[in-house]
Amino acid sequence: MTGRLSLVLTTLLACSALSLVNAQYQARRLFIEIERAQAVTRQLEIEWSQLQLDQSTLGKHARIEANARRDLNMVPLTPARTQYITGEAK
């Protein structure tokens, strides 16, 4: 009887030890996955900041006006160049 009890306890102890090893392995794997996700998050935050800076730079009125003058040959509107269209009354 004592031999059988020892065998059962030894088997339970071995299963418990294997379960502990498996749990530690899973915890390490999940920790590595979290670290990778955090690194990706940091990189995306950096890219987002750069895109916001680019958007604010590209959207400035002076830059838009300079591009319109250079690329589209546009000139500012003056009262001398303004034409008013009036509708005829019926």
Tokens of 87: 């509708």
Query: Is 4 inside a domain boundary?
Result: no
* pTM metric for this prediction: 0.56
**Cα–Cα nearest to 38, from 30, 28, 50:** 30
What is the sign, positive or negative, of the torsion defined by CA atoms of 57, 63, 65, 68?
Answer: negative
CB 57 within 8 A of CB 63: yes
Per-residue pLDDT of the chain (90 residues; tens, 9 = 90+): 788 999 999 999 999 999 999 999 999 999 999 999 999 999 999 999 999 998 888 778 888 888 888 888 888 888 888 888 888 765
Query: Is 40 inside a domain boundary?
Result: yes
Query: Is 82 inside a domain boundary?
Result: no
Q: Which domain holds residue 41?
A: 18-74
Rounded to whole angstroms, the Cα distance separating 90 from 87 reads 9
